[in-house]
Chain A
């Protein structure tokens, strides 16, 4: 059967979400001849639709449905209704991401074994052999066209990178380069190369950055095996008396409820929406929500230890020119407890335009301390800190039944408290970041607090034992054999690296597993 598919066709795999996990999985399955219906809450936005304007683009792409927050993280104070800066669009947050594509370090797959017991942390080893991931990482790098892998050239360094690199070298850092980026440094198979336009976060108008939205989704659709239903917001996942999922109820673009039958359901709505769908699907058979016999759905929410450092110089930098994330220092990504914390962090250049700099440099701040910083906007350089945060059971996504979305569904509350390890790591990174800029003559530096989360991980975590998590090593829920999770919510631990490459590699691997199970008659 070729797409489009009948709603009563129970032979299709239904994938909820079309981002790095769901979008890639949809294409990979379609390439294997498997029929897929992908339900996407957002609309389709292609490169020609993207807007080189921070707030206008935010209004176009960001997921702005209501959410609530609690906990001691500063985001809950500064952006109480916006815990995450993620995207509602075909392609999900791959429309917005910067493109940094880093493999985990081998030891990061075994955080519990490597770090030992950390008080207050619910550390666990991934139930995956790191060596098993190597070929999948290679496939993911080839799919995304990652620079400095597979013989692909590095991107050139922009002004912001040059300041960062010079400071890093003065400090003696050695692993400093323009990154492994899913941005074409050369034209590739008819795709354009990077034009150093900036606005990577607003969607690449050249299509030079990989996005599932305009690469994997059209490739999958071209096979005739993939149907994407846009503006389709899932309400709940249905199951039968045997405890298997049978289909999905969703609101269509007109707000009417529809039902699509399914052979397998793969949930890939990012780390808030995925647990939300499982929890909102509670039934008499599964009163705590689907796949939640362990009580772990929504727990162990991780967002990476983040922060930024901006430096002001006595001469212009013009950091907004060129690739938004234009380079990396990896020396601090190692595990070295002598620094006062376990795990490590990456430093990556970052540039914001004036409108977002005003909003994010020091939210809530005002007066001359703040405005004199912006007066030097042209002379500013910037970097982002991304490091491993500790999973904690009490950092969790729960349903907030007091607040409903436009469909009348309970929204999520996102609770997050920083772990002492996160704070120690952030303080170390703030010091190193400032030292990098000081080394090349900064007249002032700013330890900027975390933005709304872009890396949302761990709310349906992968575990060897069913009692410790929600899914097994394939992303299959421990409780329901034909229900899978296919996004970053399966992360057992977060590692120091930007997560997209690993989400993509896991999705490619999951597609192989699903095809194998289906051919064996197990699904």
Chain B
């Protein structure tokens, strides 16, 4: 699928058809990025849908957790979809794709192996765009309360009376 797009990028028709897979996320319609396999979708108002899909893939490649679904990465970067951010983000994504093309790939998401995409990210690691996205993810991804259970983290405990009667010392293997 990626091969047919090589060097051309995605056409509008392909976007609308929903047949194009961009990284882990799918473009399912004008202004929407989604993964049809699960129940989430993100409406984009300012960024190009394929740019948002690229941003989601970039987020996953920066902080890859295979047990964390795309919706959490999408939630972490959706804040970039504003009129104020649009120009900077589109420029950043364009630079990312340009670096990918230079490395012999169709586009950033067109690089099939994470290893190849990480090499592209490493080449632009010092850029303001990369550092902004990475820095934002530290809170944007890991401070989502819905993500915490996926790591076992239990969050707030005062309302439950702490752990005095709920296993503060329940380790059984040491």
- A-side residues, CB < 8 A to B, are 52-53, 55, 156-159, 162-163, 166, 194-199, 205-206, 315-318, 320-322, 353-355, 357-359, 364, 366-368, 370-371, 374-375, 377-378, 440
Q: Do A159 and B170 touch across chains, with their CB atoms under 8 A apart?
A: yes
Q: Do B169 and A162 touch across chains, with their CB atoms under 8 A apart?
A: yes
B155 to chain A: which residues have CB within 8 Å? 52-53, 353
Q: Do A195 and B164 touch across chains, with their CB atoms under 8 A apart?
A: yes
How many B residues have CB within 8 A of the partner chain?
A: 36
Q: Which of B138, B166, B169 has the most chain A CB atoms closer than 10 A to its own CB?
A: B169
CB of B37 closer than 8 Å to a CB of A: no
Look across to chain A and name the residue whose beta carbon is closest to the beta carbon of B153.
Answer: A354
CB of B4 closer than 8 Å to a CB of A: no
Look across to chain A and name the residue whose beta carbon is closest to the beta carbon of B62.
Answer: A366
Q: Which of B138, B156, B166, B168 has the most chain A CB atoms closer than 10 A to its own CB?
A: B168
Q: Do A370 and B158 touch across chains, with their CB atoms under 8 A apart?
A: no
Q: Do B169 and A322 touch across chains, with their CB atoms under 8 A apart?
A: yes
CB of B84 closer than 8 Å to a CB of A: no
CB of B113 closer than 8 Å to a CB of A: no
A370 to chain B: which residues have CB within 8 Å? 63
| Given known A354-B142, A355-B143, A370-B63, contact A318–B167 (CB-CB < 8 A) | yes
Look across to chain A and name the residue whose beta carbon is closest to the beta carbon of B156.
Answer: A52
Q: Which of B64, B134, B158 has the most chain A CB atoms closer than 10 A to its own CB?
A: B158
CB of B148 closer than 8 Å to a CB of A: yes
Q: Which of A156, A318, A359, A378 has the most chain B CB atoms closer than 10 A to its own CB?
A: A318
Q: How many A-B residue pairs have CB under 8 A?
A: 112
CB of B161 closer than 8 Å to a CB of A: yes
CB distance from A490 to the nearest CB of B (A): 36
Complex Cα spacing A440 to B171, Å:
13
A353 to chain B: which residues have CB within 8 Å? 153, 155
Q: Do A367 and B158 touch across chains, with their CB atoms under 8 A apart?
A: no
CB of B102 closer than 8 Å to a CB of A: no
A358 to chain B: which residues have CB within 8 Å? 138, 141-142
Q: Which of B153, B156, B162 has the most chain A CB atoms closer than 10 A to its own CB?
A: B162
CB of B45 closer than 8 Å to a CB of A: no
Complex Cα spacing A156 to B143, Å:
30
CB distance from A383 to the nearest CB of B (A): 15
| Given known A197-B162, A198-B162, A322-B163, contact A359–B153 (CB-CB < 8 A) | no
CB distance from B20 to the nearest CB of A (A): 27
Q: Do B157 and A359 touch across chains, with their CB atoms under 8 A apart?
A: no
A375 to chain B: which residues have CB within 8 Å? 65, 67, 151
Of B63, B67, B143, B171, the residue contacting A317 (CB under 8 A) is B171
Q: Do A166 and B174 touch across chains, with their CB atoms under 8 A apart?
A: yes
Complex Cα spacing A52 to B152, Å:
17
Q: Do A55 and B167 touch across chains, with their CB atoms under 8 A apart?
A: no
Q: Do A159 and B153 touch across chains, with their CB atoms under 8 A apart?
A: no
Of B134, B147, B151, B154, the residue contacting A366 (CB under 8 A) is B134
Known: A321-B154, A321-B167. 5 other contacts (CB 8 A): A52-B155, A53-B156, A195-B162, A197-B157, A321-B163
